Protein backbone atom coordinates (compact mmCIF):
# COMPACT_ATOMS: atom_id res chain seq x y z
CA UNK A 1 0.00 0.00 0.00
CA UNK A 2 1.30 3.45 -0.91
CA UNK A 3 0.12 6.68 0.74
CA UNK A 4 1.21 9.95 -0.79
CA UNK A 5 0.97 13.22 1.11
CA UNK A 6 1.40 16.63 -0.49
CA UNK A 7 0.10 18.90 2.24
CA UNK A 8 0.15 19.04 6.01
CA UNK A 9 -2.39 20.87 8.13
CA UNK A 10 -1.23 23.28 10.82
CA UNK A 11 -3.01 21.24 13.50
CA UNK A 12 -1.24 18.03 12.43
CA UNK A 13 2.15 19.82 12.37
CA UNK A 14 1.59 21.18 15.90
CA UNK A 15 0.55 17.73 17.12
CA UNK A 16 3.63 16.16 15.52
CA UNK A 17 5.94 18.73 17.16
CA UNK A 18 4.34 18.11 20.57
CA UNK A 19 4.89 14.38 20.18
CA UNK A 20 8.46 14.93 19.02
CA UNK A 21 9.11 17.14 22.07
CA UNK A 22 7.71 14.45 24.39
CA UNK A 23 9.08 11.48 22.43
CA UNK A 24 11.35 10.13 25.16
CA UNK A 25 8.49 9.95 27.67
CA UNK A 26 5.97 8.69 25.10
CA UNK A 27 8.24 5.84 24.04
CA UNK A 28 8.37 4.70 27.67
CA UNK A 29 4.60 5.13 28.10
CA UNK A 30 2.74 5.44 24.76
CA UNK A 31 -0.64 5.92 26.48
CA UNK A 32 0.64 9.00 28.35
CA UNK A 33 -1.42 12.17 28.10
CA UNK A 34 -0.04 14.52 25.44
CA UNK A 35 0.06 18.19 26.33
CA UNK A 36 1.05 21.14 24.23
CA UNK A 37 3.81 22.52 26.42
CA UNK A 38 4.48 25.37 24.02
CA UNK A 39 1.23 27.07 25.09
CA UNK A 40 2.59 27.69 28.60
CA UNK A 41 5.89 29.23 27.58
CA UNK A 42 4.62 32.81 27.07
CA UNK A 43 3.17 32.63 30.61
CA UNK A 44 6.52 31.43 31.94
CA UNK A 45 8.32 34.24 30.12
CA UNK A 46 5.91 36.86 31.51
CA UNK A 47 6.35 35.58 35.09
CA UNK A 48 10.13 35.36 34.66
CA UNK A 49 10.22 38.93 33.34
CA UNK A 50 8.28 40.21 36.36
CA UNK A 51 10.61 38.29 38.70
CA UNK A 52 13.60 39.70 36.82
CA UNK A 53 12.40 43.27 37.21
CA UNK A 54 11.76 42.72 40.93
CA UNK A 55 15.22 41.16 41.39
CA UNK A 56 16.79 44.06 39.50
CA UNK A 57 15.01 46.61 41.71
CA UNK A 58 16.09 44.75 44.86
CA UNK A 59 19.62 44.40 43.50
CA UNK A 60 19.88 48.13 42.90
CA UNK A 61 18.55 48.92 46.39
CA UNK A 62 20.47 46.30 48.39
CA UNK A 63 23.52 45.65 46.17
CA UNK A 64 23.36 41.99 47.21
CA UNK A 65 25.69 39.56 45.43
CA UNK A 66 23.22 36.72 45.91
CA UNK A 67 20.49 38.67 44.10
CA UNK A 68 22.97 39.41 41.31
CA UNK A 69 23.70 35.71 40.87
CA UNK A 70 19.97 34.87 40.97
CA UNK A 71 19.23 37.56 38.38
CA UNK A 72 22.00 36.24 36.14
CA UNK A 73 20.63 32.70 36.38
CA UNK A 74 17.14 33.97 35.65
CA UNK A 75 18.34 35.86 32.57
CA UNK A 76 20.10 32.75 31.27
CA UNK A 77 16.96 30.65 31.84
CA UNK A 78 14.80 33.23 30.05
CA UNK A 79 17.18 33.40 27.08
CA UNK A 80 17.25 29.59 26.88
CA UNK A 81 13.45 29.48 26.98
CA UNK A 82 13.13 32.12 24.27
CA UNK A 83 15.55 30.14 22.10
CA UNK A 84 13.54 26.93 22.44
CA UNK A 85 10.25 28.78 21.92
CA UNK A 86 11.53 30.41 18.73
CA UNK A 87 12.92 27.10 17.46
CA UNK A 88 9.42 25.59 17.85
CA UNK A 89 7.96 28.29 15.59
CA UNK A 90 10.86 27.95 13.17
CA UNK A 91 10.24 24.19 12.92
CA UNK A 92 6.49 24.76 12.50
CA UNK A 93 7.10 27.32 9.77
CA UNK A 94 9.56 25.00 8.01
CA UNK A 95 7.12 22.09 8.09
CA UNK A 96 4.24 24.18 6.76
CA UNK A 97 6.12 26.27 4.19
CA UNK A 98 7.76 23.46 2.27
CA UNK A 99 6.09 21.94 -0.71
CA UNK A 100 6.37 18.44 0.64
CA UNK A 101 5.77 15.32 -1.29
CA UNK A 102 6.06 12.42 1.12
CA UNK A 103 5.49 8.81 0.16
CA UNK A 104 4.74 6.16 2.78
CA UNK A 105 5.05 2.64 1.44
CA UNK A 106 3.51 -0.08 3.60
CA UNK A 107 4.61 -3.65 2.97
CA UNK A 108 4.07 -6.77 5.09
CA UNK A 109 7.69 -6.44 6.28
CA UNK A 110 8.17 -2.70 6.85
CA UNK A 111 7.13 0.94 6.48
CA UNK A 112 9.17 3.06 4.12
CA UNK A 113 9.25 6.85 4.47
CA UNK A 114 10.46 8.79 1.43
CA UNK A 115 10.70 12.59 1.65
CA UNK A 116 12.02 12.91 -1.95
CA UNK A 117 14.20 15.81 -0.75
CA UNK A 118 16.04 14.76 2.37
CA UNK A 119 15.76 11.13 3.35
CA UNK A 120 14.43 7.69 2.65
CA UNK A 121 14.04 5.47 5.71
CA UNK A 122 12.74 1.95 6.12
CA UNK A 123 11.55 0.59 9.49
CA UNK A 124 10.51 -3.00 10.06
CA UNK A 125 7.20 -3.68 11.80
CA UNK A 126 8.88 -5.27 14.81
CA UNK A 127 10.67 -1.97 15.51
CA UNK A 128 7.33 -0.38 16.49
CA UNK A 129 5.69 -0.89 19.88
CA UNK A 130 2.31 0.67 19.13
CA UNK A 131 0.18 2.88 16.92
CA UNK A 132 -1.31 5.94 18.59
CA UNK A 133 -4.38 7.53 17.03
CA UNK A 134 -4.84 11.19 17.95
CA UNK A 135 -7.13 13.98 16.82
CA UNK A 136 -5.08 15.01 13.79
CA UNK A 137 -2.73 12.12 13.13
CA UNK A 138 -1.76 8.47 13.34
CA UNK A 139 1.66 7.87 14.92
CA UNK A 140 3.79 4.73 14.97
CA UNK A 141 5.96 4.72 18.12
CA UNK A 142 9.32 2.93 18.04
CA UNK A 143 10.47 0.44 20.66
CA UNK A 144 13.30 2.72 21.78
CA UNK A 145 14.60 6.26 21.32
CA UNK A 146 16.90 5.23 18.45
CA UNK A 147 13.92 4.13 16.35
CA UNK A 148 11.89 6.12 13.86
CA UNK A 149 8.65 7.91 14.81
CA UNK A 150 6.30 7.74 11.83
CA UNK A 151 3.35 10.09 11.65
CA UNK A 152 0.59 10.32 9.08
CA UNK A 153 -2.43 12.63 8.84
CA UNK A 154 -5.65 11.21 10.31
CA UNK A 155 -7.26 10.94 6.86
CA UNK A 156 -5.22 7.76 6.33
CA UNK A 157 -6.51 5.94 9.42
CA UNK A 158 -9.00 3.65 7.66
CA UNK A 159 -6.55 2.51 5.00
CA UNK A 160 -3.86 1.87 7.65
CA UNK A 161 -6.28 -0.18 9.78
CA UNK A 162 -7.37 -2.18 6.74
CA UNK A 163 -3.77 -2.83 5.68
CA UNK A 164 -2.78 -3.98 9.16
CA UNK A 165 -5.80 -6.28 9.36
CA UNK A 166 -5.24 -7.79 5.90
CA UNK A 167 -1.53 -8.43 6.57
CA UNK A 168 -2.10 -9.60 10.15
CA UNK A 169 0.27 -7.04 11.62
CA UNK A 170 -0.01 -7.25 15.38
CA UNK A 171 0.77 -3.86 16.90
CA UNK A 172 -1.09 -2.44 19.87
CA UNK A 173 -3.39 0.47 18.94
CA UNK A 174 -3.81 3.26 21.50
CA UNK A 175 -6.69 5.67 20.92
CA UNK A 176 -6.50 9.30 22.04
**pLDDT at residue 55 in the model:** 78
Using one digit for the tens of pLDDT, what is the confidence trace for 26-52? 888 878 887 777 777 788 888 888 888
Task: Give me the percent of the chain exceeding a pLDDT of 90.
Answer: 0
Task: Note the pLDDT of residue 98.
Answer: 67
Q: State pTM to two decimals.
A: 0.74
- Domain range summary for the chain, segments of one domain joined by +: 2-7+99-175
CATH fold, domain 2-7+99-175, is: PH-domain like (2.30.29)
Look at residues 124, 125, 154, 127 and name the one whose alpha carbon lies nearest to residue 139. Answer: 154
CB 131 within 8 A of CB 173: yes
Closest CA to 145 of 13, 16, 18, 22: 22
Task: Tell me what pLDDT residue 75 has.
Answer: 85
How far is it, in rounded angstroms, from Cα 135 to Cα 110? 25
- Please enumerate in sequence order all residues whose Cβ is within 8 A of that of 35, keeping only pairs 6 or more positions apart, or say none: 18, 22
pLDDT digits (tens, 9 = 90+) for 83-105: 888 888 888 887 777 667 788 88
Q: In 10 A of CB 46, how many CB atoms?
A: 10
Amino acid sequence: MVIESDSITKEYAKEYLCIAAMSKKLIKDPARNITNRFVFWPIYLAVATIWGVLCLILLIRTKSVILGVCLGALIIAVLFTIRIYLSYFKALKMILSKDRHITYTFSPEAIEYDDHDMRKITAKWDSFQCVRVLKNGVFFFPNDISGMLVGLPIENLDSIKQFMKENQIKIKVVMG
